[in-house]
């Protein structure tokens, strides 16, 4: 048995009696230091401040939140080192189906009631596994992907790696995807699927195809996953992203709306819903959703300037310039100074639209930078819109052209057309569209020659 | 439509939580007073398993049971069955031995398969004279898990199906892979002379 008396435990459960029961079991196996967290916020606070060695987390956390959501949030915000053991404790059989489907999984889960001996058996196995992967975890944390992959490759063919072959393959696919080699990650996920139809591996194929901008294929793959495993919520998020990239904003909004109802306190998902609603022209849903996010996402530092910009954008979409201005003016100077170029550009553009007298000068000051740089699609749209509003045709047309020639063209096409129509420049829009198409054909001819 | 299932699942969930509280109190008393109350804990865990199986049976009868398949190390699976059953069987002077010849992971529903094996060992324990063996081997792409005893064997074959067997039969068939389905075989062909329970998974 490992020395559990030296490990720091954190027990997360909203029910006092169940919490005591978990502590008792932990103490029975030798645990000396056992901390408690009674809710979601408290758990995040404790893990962030002083990461425990072993987390025993109940699946049902109350207030519309689950242990799975906590785990996903911890992993996404990099608050959970690979070395920390996360064990889900559950009386729900349905959790097994979640674990078998999703991409972000705990180290293990255990079903109540269970004996101290069984917990020790499970923890011992996890510790052995973590020791096996220790060197890999270090390289992965440093984002030394080539070295991480080399370690996994050597382990895959080793005899000691035999009990972990599926896990090695899964890690290989994830690292390939994280390193940006989407073709290799697609291949890795497909080779896992040859063995068994795991939903997370199918989703990995879709994710890899999406990164390669092979949207139709990506959509076909993710549709399979969402249809067969409706409790795999991240798959719905991925489907929505792919739909948006395809320009199918109504479908994206529908998918996100359904899944957001089941996870009312997942605010990353709500942000996506706001984005889909904006693209879909449903400014009221976008505005209400962002208001919910800003009021209720209580993760420390969770509300970013980007969120405020999104909020302002949704007010503008709803023709409420006064509210948009209020949101923008409410940003503090330090926040604005800390923004990157894209955010500064969006801020200036949105302010110029909502309040020309306050924003026009700032927007004009950025003009040389805006003519010289390619910004992300969201910012580019903001700039185009502001330029149209101040009749700066050169700047507007440049960004419209960049957007339509870019890889996210389908996503933003409808929004560009709408804005040009708003300023009576439909003919110019069609001309830009034609130019972009001609350039593309020319480019393709050249590359074929 | 899902309302009845939700009510049942929530009831089972609450009951299992209560059982867990009871088990933790017993474990604490054992540690504090140096007692051994493993039979009490065995009964609690058996009750928990029984509740899970009831819910699984309900899902199967509604034809919407779904598996949660993960890669599972077969040796770990056997180890958990031994942990759950060995001490109880020892109390009845029955020895449980394991022979696991599969060293790789296998994609299967860990909890359901463990429960099936636990159930098979429990059944064997009722009839065995002194020995039960649990074994795992690979046979032409199939995982073969078997439980054998040295009891009198089944009086009739096929045996009259109870809920447990019906559930096991259907759960075995739900394990599908590359166009093949799992199956359950009961016979008197035990190498120990009694009944043999064999689960074949693709």
pLDDT, one tens digit per residue, over A106-115 is 999 999 999 9
**Residues B176, B102 within the same domain:** yes
User: Cβ neighbours of residue B153 under 8 Å, at least 6 residues apart?
Assistant: B188, B190, B193, B194, B195
**Residues B87, B23 within the same domain:** no
CB B27 within 8 Å of CB A116: yes
pLDDT (0 to 100) of residue A431:
94
Which of B63, B78, B112 terminates a domain? The answer is: B63
Peptide bond into A113 cis (omega under 30): yes
| DSSP string of chain B, one letter each residue | --HHHHHHHHHHHHHHHHHHHHHHHHHHHHHHHT---HHHHHHHHHHHHHHHHHHHHHHHHTT------EEEEHHHHHHHHHHHHHHHHHTTT-EEEEEE---SEEEE-HHHHHHHHHHHHHHHHHH-SSEEEEEEEEETTEEEEEEEESS---SSSSPPP-HHHHHHHHHHHH-EETTEE-EEEEES--TTSS-EEEEEE-
* pTM metric for this prediction: 0.89
Residue A249, both tokens: 């904003």
**Residues B29, B95 within the same domain:** no
HSE-up of A164 (CA within 13 Å, CB side)?
23
Cα(A318)–Cα(A288) distance, rounded to whole angstroms? 11
For B142-200, write each residue's pLDDT tens digit: 999 999 999 999 888 877 767 777 888 889 999 999 899 999 999 998 999 999 999 99
**Residues B113, B187 within the same domain:** yes
Cβ separation of A113 and B104 shorter than 8 Å?
no
Which of B48, B63, B78 terminates a domain? The answer is: B63
Give the pairing type, strands A54-58 and B176-177.
Answer: unpaired
pLDDT (0 to 100) of residue B2:
64
Cα(A256)–Cα(A270) distance, rounded to whole angstroms? 8
**Residues B148, B111 within the same domain:** yes
Which of B44, B63, B82 terminates a domain? The answer is: B63
**Residues B42, B126 within the same domain:** no
Cα(B47)–Cα(A441) distance, rounded to whole angstroms? 70
Cα(B68)–Cα(A385) distance, rounded to whole angstroms? 49
Tell me the residue range of the domain where B157 lies: 69-201
Collapsing DSSP to helix, strand or coil, A57 comes out as strand
Between positions 52 and 81 of A, the ones with CB within 8 A of B are: 60
User: Cβ neighbours of residue A148 under 8 Å, at least 6 residues apart?
Assistant: A136, A139, A140, A175
Specify which residues A33 forms β-bridges with.
A8
Nearest-CB residue to A196 (from B16, B73, B107): B107
Q: Distance, in angstroms, between A252 CA and closest chain B CA?
A: 26
**Residues B56, B123 within the same domain:** no
pLDDT at A443 over 90: no
SS (H, E, C) A116-164: HHHHHHHHHHHHHHHHHCHHHHHHHHCCCHHHHHHHHHHHHCCCCCHHH
Cβ separation of B31 and A27 shorter than 8 Å?
yes
pLDDT at B1 over 90: no
pLDDT at A192 over 60: yes
Q: How large a percentage of chain A has pLDDT more than 90?
A: 81
**Residues B138, B40 within the same domain:** no
Nearest-CB residue to A21 (from B20, B69, B105): B20
User: Cβ neighbours of residue B168 under 8 Å, at least 6 residues apart?
Assistant: B116, B119, B120, B184, B199
Residue A446, both tokens: 């050249």
pLDDT (0 to 100) of residue B161:
66
* CATH number of residue B99's parent domain: 3.30.565.10
Residue A146, both tokens: 């080539």
pLDDT (0 to 100) of residue A288:
95
How many domains does chain B divide into?
Answer: 2
**Residues B56, B99 within the same domain:** no
CB B150 within 8 Å of CB B193: yes
Interface A:B, Cβ pairs < 8 A: 112
Q: Which residues of B touch A198 (CB under 8 A)?
A: 69, 107
pLDDT at B61 over 60: yes
Q: Distance, in angstroms, between A385 CA and closest chain B CA?
A: 48
| Ramachandran angles phi, psi of A90, nearest 5° | -150, 145
For A355-401, write each residue's pLDDT tens digit: 999 999 999 999 999 999 888 999 999 999 999 999 999 999 999 99
Collapsing DSSP to helix, strand or coil, A50 comes out as coil
**Residues B145, B91 within the same domain:** yes
**Residues B51, B76 within the same domain:** no
**Residues B194, B162 within the same domain:** yes
Cβ separation of B48 and A21 shorter than 8 Å?
no
pLDDT (0 to 100) of residue B178:
87
């Amino acid at each position: 048995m490992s020395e559990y008396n030296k490990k720091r435990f954190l027990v997360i459960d909203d029910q006092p009696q169940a919490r005591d029961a978990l502590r008792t079991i932990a103490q029975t196996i030798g645990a000396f230091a056992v901390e408690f967290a009674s809710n979601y916020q408290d758990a995040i606070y404790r893990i962030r401040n002083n990461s425990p060695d072993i987390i025993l987390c109940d699946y049902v956390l109350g207030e519309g939140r689950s242990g799975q959501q906590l785990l996903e949030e911890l992993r996404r915000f990099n608050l959970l080192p690979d070395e920390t053991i996360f064990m889900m404790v559950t009386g729900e059989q349905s959790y097994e189906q979640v674990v078998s489907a999703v991409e972000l999984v705990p180290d293990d889960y255990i079903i109540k009631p269970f004996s101290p001996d069984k917990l020790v058996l499970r923890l011992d196995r996890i510790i052995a596994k973590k020791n096996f992967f220790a060197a890999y975890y270090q390289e992965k944390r440093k984002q030394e992907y080539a070295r991480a992959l080399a370690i996994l490759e050597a382990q895959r063919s080793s005899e000691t790696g035999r009990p972990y072959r599926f896990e090695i393959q899964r890690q290989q696919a994830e690292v390939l995807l994280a390193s940006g080699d989407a073709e290799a990650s697609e291949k890795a996920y497909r080779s896992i699927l040859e063995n068994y139809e795991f939903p997370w591996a199918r989703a990995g194929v879709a994710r890899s195809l999406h990164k390669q901008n092979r949207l139709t294929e990506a959509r076909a793959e993710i549709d399979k996953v969402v249809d067969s495993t409706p409790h795999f919520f991240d798959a719905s998020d991925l489907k929505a992203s792919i739909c948006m990239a395809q320009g199918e904003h109504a479908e994206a909004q529908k998918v996100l709306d359904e899944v957001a109802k089941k996870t009312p306190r997942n605010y990353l998902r709500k942000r996506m819903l706001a984005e889909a609603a904006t693209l879909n022209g449903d400014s009221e849903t976008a505005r209400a959703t962002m208001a919910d996010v800003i009021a209720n996402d209580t993760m420390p530092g969770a509300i970013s300037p980007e969120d405020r910009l999104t909020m302002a954008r949704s007010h503008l979409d709803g023709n409420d310039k006064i509210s948009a201005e209020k949101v923008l003016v409410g940003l503090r100077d330090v926040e604005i100074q800390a923004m990157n170029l894209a955010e500064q550009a969006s801020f200036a553009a949105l302010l110029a639209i909502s309040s020309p007298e306050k924003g026009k000068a700032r927007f004009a000051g950025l003009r040389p930078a805006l003519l010289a740089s390619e910004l992300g699609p969201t910012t580019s749209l903001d700039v185009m819109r502001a330029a149209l509003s101040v009749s700066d045709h050169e700047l507007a047309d440049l960004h419209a052209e960049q957007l339509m020639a870019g890889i996210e063209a389908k996503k933003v096409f409808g929004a560009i057309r709408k804005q040009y129509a708003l300023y009576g420049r439909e003919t110019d829009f069609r001309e830009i569209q034609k130019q972009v198409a001609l350039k593309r054909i020319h480019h393709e001819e050249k590359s074929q020659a | 439509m899902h309302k009845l299932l939700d009510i049942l699942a929530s009831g089972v969930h609450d009951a299992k939580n209560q059982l867990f509280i009871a088990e933790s109190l017993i474990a604490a008393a054992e540690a504090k007073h140096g007692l051994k109350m493993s039979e009490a804990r065995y009964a609690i865990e058996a009750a928990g398993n029984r509740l899970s199986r009831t819910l699984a049976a309900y899902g199967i009868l509604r034809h919407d049971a779904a598996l949660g398949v993960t890669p599972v190390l077969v040796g770990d699976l056997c180890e958990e069955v031994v942990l759950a059953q060995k001490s109880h069987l020892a109390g009845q002077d029955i020895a449980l031995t394991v022979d696991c010849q599969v060293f790789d992971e296998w994609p299967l529903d860990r909890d359901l398969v463990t429960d099936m094996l636990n159930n098979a060992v429990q059944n064997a324990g009722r009839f065995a004279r002194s020995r039960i063996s649990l074994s795992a081997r690979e046979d032409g792409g199939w995982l073969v898990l078997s439980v054998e005893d040295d009891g009198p064997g089944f009086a009739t074959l096929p045996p009259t199906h109870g809920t447990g067997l019906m559930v096991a039969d259907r759960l075995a068939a739900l394990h599908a892979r590359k166009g093949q389905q799992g199956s359950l075989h009961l016979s008197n062909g035990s190498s120990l002379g009694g009944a043999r329970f064999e689960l074949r998974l693709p």
